[in-house]
Structure 1
Amino acid sequence: MVLPESMVPDKFPDPPVTPKDAATVVLLRDTAAGLEAFLLRRVMGMAFAGGMSVFPGGGVDQRDADVAVAWTGPDAEWWAERFDCPVPLARALVCAAVRETFEESGVLLAGPSASSVVSDTAPYASARKSLVDREFSLAQFLAGAGLVLRADLLQPWANWITPAEEPRRYDTKFFIAALPEGQRADGSTSEADHAEWRRPTDAIALWKAGERGLLPPTWMTLADLAEMPTVADAMAADRTISKIIPKVIREGHILRPVLPGDPAYPQAANHLDAHPDDTLGR
């Protein structure tokens, strides 16, 4: 993958921008052809990742930390241990994951009881819009609808952080979740102009052919999921979550992203320390 030189900022923030906490959810479903993931193509011209195919997700809202949210499944302490973060933040991340997934895809990881999940989200269409407009919090929505957040429907997958050279930085926790039976992902969000289900290998093939744009966290996640035969296999995977910061090195007039596993990655890290003006990451 080659990045245009125009992506390099003329001036890097000094001091670096503090990353904003964010949550991303990879929705998965089984098909006769294999596991598929749900992708949204962000509207061109957006300040961050415009035109790129991404998973549903977004920044943590202050109200996502509301301890009054009805909750079942692994508690906030368990999530804090998995993502190596404070307990209040862990709670907020799980709530943000559920909220953003509902806002951007219409999929609701909640149910009327600890052992059930909503099968038809149509009755909550107006609430979905109100959540997008920040008229009330996720906790208020769930309480009013008599629903319980199903943290047990989520699994931790990865943690990606935007490098210090970028003017917009995110510390994003990646989750995976199976599409609940009876629900459909619609992609009805103002932030996207296209939505699709794709087998990970097919999505990567389209990216390599220049027909889709994928950021490193997206295509690396897809590459990992391509090794999973079924959703159950992915949900049962024993993942070690570590913070990943992509590096991008300059080779002449070409910018090349370097990721963990690439022999150049440690050198890229050293290069970043020595010559910050020569790198870019996202």
Structure 2
Amino acid sequence: MNGIPLPAEFGERARDILAGRIRPVPARDAATVVVLREGPEVYLLRRKATMAFAAGAYVFPGGSVDPRDTDHAVAWAGPSPKEWGAVFGADDQTARGLVCAAVRETFEESGVLLAGPGADSVVEDTTGDDWEADRLALIDRSLAFADFLDRRGLVLRSDLLKPWAHWITPEIEHKRFDTRFFVAALPYGQRTRDVGGEADKVVWQTPADAIGQADRGEIFLMPPTRRTLSELVAYGTVEEVFAATREIITFLPEAVEIDGRFWLVTPE
């Protein structure tokens, strides 16, 4: 078992939840995408210290599913929602929302767009002012993802995503997410940029370097991010990552009391 000690306030909350005095907050469906480029390196954002969830942590792009992400009007190429549902143990509608959220959130938080004019093409440049205006409109929810794709004549490329993991936020947290992890390669010609918003810094790093910085206390990684990075250390190229066989296992860290102190543990 891997474990980290919990602050006293979380220990009291864990005790109340275990005793049935309070009920856990429901977990919202969410998607996270590990964007890779040769090295291989991963794209990480540092969440602002003012954020209510994971403040100051280095994370991958991602976020909650918008109800409009399940819109059947979203132009689609690649594995179907039904196929994604079979991988992640979700119904077709939930799977559609997860994949759309993965592509939408990646664009919102990195400028990388996993979509193209057709099933075998991908947008090469998303750095113009018009793209930035659309990105901001998606963030403030004044523009639906389906309308964004339709207006630009684009289709979502679900085949550019690879399923990687499934993590559910511990029951002791005040904000909880039921998150499916994906990996994706940076499309040829596209560039990430400092997009601001929920992040105050973005970096490209090898998984080993990121873990090393975390070990030295230079950066903060949440358990799902750290575990994902530790898994990626084994691969020498982006192609090896995509060729890897993955069994999607659901991880739900739990609060456990040991000798009067609560620890958050994740079963191996």
Are 1:17 and 2:19 matched, yes or no?
A: no
**Contact 2:31 2:62 (8 Å CA) reproduced:** yes
Counterpart AA for 2:7: E
Please give the secondary structure, in 2, of the residue aligned with 1:8: helix
Aligned mate of 2:229, from 211, 222, 234: 222
Counterpart AA for 1:65: T
Q: Which residue of 1 aligns with 2:156?
A: 149
Counterpart AA for 1:195: V
Distance 1:159 1:2, change over 3 A: closer
List per-residue Cα deviations over 1:172-204 (Å, max 9, x = no partner). Answer: 000000001111111313100110011101100
Cα displacement (A) at 1:164? 1.9
Aligned mate of 1:168, from 170, 175, 181: 175
State the TM-score, normalized to the length of structure 1. Answer: 0.87
Where in structure 2 are the equivalents of 1:57-76 lying within 5 Å?
57-76=62-81
Q: Which residue of 2 aligns with 1:232?
A: 239
Please give the secondary structure, in 1, of the residue aligned with 2:183: strand
Number of positions where the alignment pairs a residue of Structure 1 with one of Structure 2: 258
Cα displacement (A) at 1:129? 0.7
Cα displacement (A) at 1:257? 3.8
**Contact 1:216 1:246 (8 Å CA) reproduced:** no
Where in structure 2 are the equivalents of 1:191-230 lying within 5 Å?
191-230=198-237
Query: Matches of 1:164 and 1:108 in 2, distance apart?
Result: 33
List per-residue Cα deviations over 1:91-125 (Å, max 9, x = no partner). Answer: 00000000000001110001111111111002411
Q: Percent sequence identity over matched residues?
A: 49
Query: Matches of 1:248 and 1:197 in 2, distance apart?
Result: 33
Counterpart AA for 2:168: I
Q: Which residue of 2 aligns with 1:78?
A: 83
Counterpart AA for 1:129: L
Q: Which residue of 2 aligns with 1:96?
A: 101
Worse overlay, 226-235 or 138-147: 226-235
Q: Which residue of 2 aligns with 1:268?
A: none
Counterpart AA for 1:25: V
Cα displacement (A) at 1:136? 1.6
Query: Matches of 1:112 and 1:253 in 2, distance apart?
Result: 59
State the TM-score, normalized to the length of structure 2. Answer: 0.91
Where in structure 2 are the equivalents of 1:110-149 lying within 5 Å?
110-123=115-128, 124-149=131-156
Please give the secondary structure, in 2, of the residue aligned with 1:144: helix
Counterpart AA for 2:175: R
Query: Matches of 1:225 and 1:77 in 2, distance apart?
Result: 27
Query: Matches of 1:192 and 1:234 in 2, distance apart?
Result: 26
RMSD of the alignment, in Å?
1.7
Aligned mate of 1:36, from 32, 41, 51: 41
Query: Matches of 2:194 and 2:260 in 1, distance apart?
Result: 37
Query: Matches of 2:6 and 2:23 in 1, distance apart?
Result: 25
